Structure 1
Amino acid sequence: MTDLLAKKVVREGQRLRLRNLAESAASKKRAEEKRLHQLLFDSVVWQSSQCVAVTLSMPFELDTKPVIERAWEEGKAVVLAKVEPNRGLSFCHYDEETKLVATPPYGLLEAVDSEVVLPSKIDLVLVPGLAFDEDSQMRLGFGGGYYDRFLQGYQGESVSLVLEEQSISGKWAVDEFDQPVKHLIK
């Protein structure tokens, strides 16, 4: 049986692994992203959604820009993640006119002066992560528990697009507050 590593150790390893992929194998990463995007667009959860929640990805993460653009093309509403006090997470309306600002602690681009959308109005959440366990549907996030807190009470669909380098089954301890993602697309 695989020894379970501390989340912090796995997170650091995954950040390095994903940065190396983005820097030294960018064309491989883009090709895999394109394949994953198409699998998402062909899925029932995508086709039946009207309001899609996303983050604006960092360079080492799976690119979310094509997801946002496709949603707009299809007339879907897009809502952007916003970090709230006490490790909360909300989603704000996002379109091409929305003003963005980088916010601490992670430097994520968030909408400024944009309407908060209730979770009940969101059909599909694209959940980011550093690593994913295919068997349990669990994800290893960035360490704040923001998405786990949000998913705990969320009733809609959740999906993560999983690059080959992110699929590392059973390598980290799962805490009682961790929440699975409903659909992993690999």
Structure 2
Amino acid sequence: MNKDKVRKQILNKMEGATQSDQKFFDLYVELFHLSEWNHAEIVATTMNTTNEIPTAPIIFKALGEGKRVVVPRTLPNHQMEFVKMDHNLVFQQTRFGIWEPVAGSVVKSDKIDLMIVPGVAFNPQSKQRIGYGAGFYDRYLSHFKGYKVALAQEEQIISALDWEPENFDVKLDQIIYRG
């Protein structure tokens, strides 16, 4: 199967999936117990979309622990940068339905300690992911040196690598999920 077929199949499964607060809580607890979380000063995460794991609890926990939180803003040519979240940050919805900052203080990739990477499908054994198809994260992660972790719902886990990774696909350091 190719990436597009896997992506379409998983997105269809996600539309009908029930989302459980307890399931998410278990993922958050595991994330918050990582030594990489505990040592991180700057955490990168997204503003989740409807079918994704909610990121607000992650943001609130990080801020409550005195960490700085950065969120992505897309740029031309499938590039992106991360902007420091603060009370003055203004968001707008992109054509993809993703909320991102309009402006703000950009944080360079070498300053980010931990990145929570979104995706459509994940293989925990190979630590590969399939994103939404535009390549924003693969481009950014190709030069990112911090810890890369994803939180995944059961429906997003693929036990066998059902696609051929491409040379630009970047492996994650860890995938947290409950089956």
TM-score bucket (shorter structure): over 0.9
Structure 2: distance between partners of 1:172 and 1:63:
27
- Give the SS at the match of 2:142: helix
Which residue in the other structure is 2:142 paired with? Answer: 152
Structure 2: distance between partners of 1:31 and 1:14:
22
**TM-score, normalised on structure 2?**
0.94
For 1:17-32, list aligned pairs within 5 A: 17-21=13-17, 25-26=18-19, 29-32=20-23
For 1:98-177, list aligned pairs within 5 A: 98-104=89-95, 106-169=96-159, 170-177=161-168
Which residue in the other structure is 1:12 paired with? Answer: 8
Deviations, residues 6-29 of structure 1 (Å, cap 9, x unaligned): 2111111111111211xxx23xx3
Q: Does 1:46 align with 2:37?
A: yes
- Structure 1 gap segments, 5+ residues each: none
Runs of 4+ displaced beyond 6 Å? none
Which residue in the other structure is 2:51 paired with? Answer: 60
Q: Does 1:93 align with 2:84?
A: yes
Structure 1: distance between partners of 2:153 and 2:87:
27
- Give the SS at the match of 2:77: helix
Between the two proteins, the alignment pairs up a number of residues equal to: 176
Percent identity between the two aligned chains = 34
Structure 1: distance between partners of 2:152 and 2:103:
32
- Give the SS at the match of 1:86: coil
- Give the SS at the match of 2:172: coil
Higher helix share: 1
